[in-house]
Amino acid sequence: MRAQESEMRLKHALDVPKQVPGVRHNRLDTRGAVCYQLRVHRASLSSATRLVVKLGTGVLTDSRKQPDLAQMGQLVAQVAAQHRAGREIVLVTSGAVGAGMGVLGFEKRPAELAELQACAAVGQSRLMATYEKLFAKFDLHVAQVLLTHDDLEHHERHLNARNTLIALLNRRVVPIINENDAVSFTELRFGDNDKLSALVASLLPADLLVILTTVDGVMENFGKAGAKILRTIEHIDGAVEKLAGGTDSATAVGGMASKIAAAKIAVRSGVPLVIAPGRRKTVLADILGGAEEGTLFVPNAAKLKGRKRWIAFFHHPKGTLFVDDGARKAVGEKGKSLLPPGVARCEGDFAAGDVVRICDLNGTEFARGLCDFSPAQIAAKASASPRVEVVHRDNLVIL
């Protein structure tokens, strides 16, 4: 039966019309099917109507770490062209700290929080003023939206943020989002705008997330002879994560490691992500035209629904539940709720209603969920009420 199904898939791949680029018709093996599958993923991007586009510091600033007006202008022109084509665009922008650094005389990104926030406070107003002037040339209005992690973790504020963005898009305004660096502190930070862009794409949800950066995409053997770009990544595993590095930029944070972390959020939310070079003047048109530009991360077919996305991605977990092998199998493979006898131990000071990590006995996280009890209550119920749910399956997400 499996052989018959494989033969049918291969026949379908080889029956694709020749005008579809990227399909091999001269190889009677599974490469034809795989190649066709990847081409379909690329071609499907043309139907995206709601985009989140993240602009990294490296593609917004010049060698002096100041906003590069010519570069920003060409990026805005690309966004405006897609807007005219009827698409909704949300920008997630970096560059505020970089813009402020130049004004305040910093050559490197400040390590002290107060100085970092001072740069952000000065730079954000300059950044938005620049965007407003550039978009006005295309008769487009922009709206500044500054977020902290707490804004998206709190459920009502989470929904309010989404409703505000939808209202702006309905009015054909371009929302420009940045982390509120002037007031954020460590416990409330997203960490980087790559993650923020993935969370915004998950929040809406978007049809496509594009991260524009200074590199061509995810590279294999980066910096070595024979380096090549990976055009499509269907599964993010340990081998893919090993390809990533950080950044040595004076103004940026994250690097490729943060982009792959963002890709995990996007694809689990059902949103395709493309990492592509932000200095190419046709990059958005090429991506949306189906060209093999940058690296495409293919979304999971079984995407999470809104509430599950909120549980999985928008929280700093308050604690950890370590579960035995039986509970791991019941929760991870059979779709069961987590019961008290399966919890081997707890870590963290969490209360009923908090999001917790769920790990196996080796410490590997495989799920997250809203816990119904505190650690003391879980211990008490292990013998008194063994059938009560510690984490109900409706409030649990397998990662």
Q: Which two tokens stand for residue 280?
A: 């190419």
Of 359, 389, 357, 360, nearest to 373 (Cα)? Answer: 389
Q: Which of 278, 308, 338 is the last residue of a domain?
A: 308
Predicted local confidence at residue 38, as pLDDT: 59
259 shares its domain with 116: yes
DSSP codes, 315-382: ----EEEEE-HHHHHHHHTT-PPB-GGGEEEEES---TT-EEEEE-TTS-EEEEEE-SS-HHHHHHHH
- Total count of domains within the chain: 3
pLDDT in 10s for each residue of the chain, 399 residues: 434 443 333 333 323 333 333 333 222 233 344 555 556 689 999 999 999 999 988 899 887 777 899 999 999 999 999 999 999 999 999 888 888 888 898 888 888 888 888 988 898 999 999 999 999 999 999 999 999 888 999 999 999 999 999 999 999 999 999 988 666 555 445 568 999 999 999 999 999 999 999 999 998 887 778 889 999 999 998 889 888 764 444 444 458 899 999 999 999 999 999 999 999 999 999 999 999 999 999 998 888 999 999 999 999 999 999 999 999 999 999 999 999 999 999 999 999 999 999 999 999 999 999 999 999 999 998 888 888 999 999 999 998
State the sign of the Cα–Cα–Cα–Cα dihedral 187, 192, 194, 196: positive
What is the value of pTM for the model shown?
Answer: 0.84
Of 236, 238, 284, nearest to 260 (Cα)? Answer: 236
Residue range of the domain that includes 126: 48-308
Predicted local confidence at residue 182, as pLDDT: 62
331 shares its domain with 202: no
21 shares its domain with 65: no
Predicted local confidence at residue 216, as pLDDT: 92
Predicted local confidence at residue 28, as pLDDT: 29
38 shares its domain with 52: no
Q: Which two tokens stand for residue 68?
A: 């590069």
Task: Compute CA distances 300 → 227, 235, 398, 399, whole Å.
Answer: 28, 9, 13, 12
Predicted local confidence at residue 11, as pLDDT: 33
Strand partners for 144: 176
Q: Which CATH number covers residue 100?
A: 3.40.1160.10
Residues with Cβ within 8 Å of 193's Cβ and at least 6 positions away in sequence, in order, are 54, 56, 92, 93, 94, 178, 179, 254
278 shares its domain with 361: no
Q: Which CATH number covers residue 354?
A: 2.30.130.10
27 shares its domain with 78: no
User: CB–CB of 286/280 below 8 Å?
Assistant: yes
120 shares its domain with 85: yes
Predicted local confidence at residue 328, as pLDDT: 97
275 shares its domain with 384: no
Predicted local confidence at residue 64, as pLDDT: 73
Predicted local confidence at residue 384, as pLDDT: 84
139 shares its domain with 183: yes
117 shares its domain with 191: yes
User: CB–CB of 58/252 below 8 Å?
Assistant: yes
213 shares its domain with 175: yes
